Structure 1
């Protein structure tokens, strides 16, 4: 760019430093990552431009992105033709490019400013008093500017500068939030693709192994030692398959999606009784079921079983050893309540707020000898919410720990469109989870 006069050393140094920043590939990529370059006007940003014009009582405000070859006007108030229509300015005519070092341009009278008075756009644009503040992202890259222009001499007050700085912060907050949302969407897509691919690849050798073990068991049905080994290997393979199911459902929950349900007529009392009988073989006779009659529901039987198994096994693992674990079923109107109570070290109040989050484990669980991924309780809540219900917890030294599940008698499937992870899910069976 050719200035209309000779710049002093300070001004010349500024132009040289900013010119080097102009084509910085990292800065240019940061601009593209905003997704704002060469996009239509948006009320979100136009509103801030109008607000600046009103609060400062100036005729022109502009929010710009400074690219390598042009200045793009994303939002404005009072921008004259033809710039209001083209919304671009050749970079050689840009004044905002000289904020790329992160320093603002503030002047009450550009005509007397040693730098601004020689800039070729000062006269044609009617720039006399001006505030140009850089839009700086968290990585320190200047994306563009937010500026206001007054065609007459004006001493900017501290309030004027504060208003512009606050509005500039608001612009960057909006841009940064959009960037974070986009990153989260990208991360979610990658996670879903990874989990689906991983589980698919894991299931292939698991299926082959199970078939081989079953064949071995049939060939040597008369050998007890072989049958014992077959049973042990089969149980381990089933456990690995249930862990895969954990990952699939946890991935869905973390992505804000509902767990898939296979609804049918079932009896929660019968499901709970069977689950507790099987768990009693592992955790001894500690479970005390308190329920009367049948609890007919339209629900996912496997989902209900997973809820019971997770809560009951967690109570056995982390509750006081040897103490009874109460499992209560009750019905009120069109809803049923499942509660699992145990005694032992209470869950800290702050941990009760996060205990249902995926991959979270309480401090006591992490320090215990019990291993876990922190998926059991998130899956309990995910299954409850998929049924249209809820999952909560209370815990104290006096009353022990109580997990409460409230479910409607008739669940309605509200499953979103199937994803790759959903197709991988089809082959999975029930699992016994781990406490968070």
Structure 2
């Protein structure tokens, strides 16, 4: 029997699988747990699986064959973990070749022989398993069972944190990101208001000159000096108005950029382009970064879809830029913050750097950012070669 469907339909379980839970980004905490499970039980493979209606998803894995690691899951009816979810209890296989309870597809393709899985739960609902697999037959000891059970408790805590993650951290980021942009918008209104006032004065100056010119056409004489003086005032007013109109145009353009960025913060999305995060994050942080020298963002040639929600990604970058700028001003630095992009197989990074930035300050920035990213599996942060890297999980295209 290559396939067995022992679990049946359990649609009530679908509500447990949140976006954060099903993100395909590597979760560092779960990764450490599966590595520890494989080491402690001396098995080549260890997994955290989430068993859904039709597939088992590998939330974390260690030692998988390359093709399984790339797929991040299998059909549910060839899995062993379905039996853990069906009973809500541990499940063991000593020799899969001779055990009629389990499907044989993985046994034949990948030489799986021994298996032990412990249930993992969210809000008292069994959602999958922490399991270890071996390529040779074996019995598991009571000590090994206890070790795996203890590790499964850690998985429960991590999965529950991911599933219940709500908007507290996001709200703080939104506040940090949106407030400077609102201050920026208020500041942009000043040249617009000033330009309007100049425009009224200019209209009055020009109207006066036109009235004088009109009356001179009907016989009233004005001295040459009076005409030249009025004309000079009219030209000065027109020059001032043109300059004011330029300031208004720049302010309106900047205001539109800020509004676009704010829309990206408040308009939810499950995926976004990395360029949208970079551009909107820079615009939101404009007010905070102008005193430190501004932000240099080269054109992004290769755009990439990432699975981090746009509001979170934009807010995170804006907050990072603001933290850079604040520390630079306090250190007496005036350098442009440079943003570049680096991409890999599973992550794409926005890399921030500024010449002269002390390493201690960068470490403080990373430490603060991690308090916001630790519970979101689609984004992480680290420091490398004097740069702060925001790593976003790339949306994989399935063939």
The TM-score, its normalising length taken from structure 2, stands at 0.39
Instruction: Give the helix-richer structure, 1 or 2.
Output: 2
The TM-score, its normalising length taken from structure 1, stands at 0.36
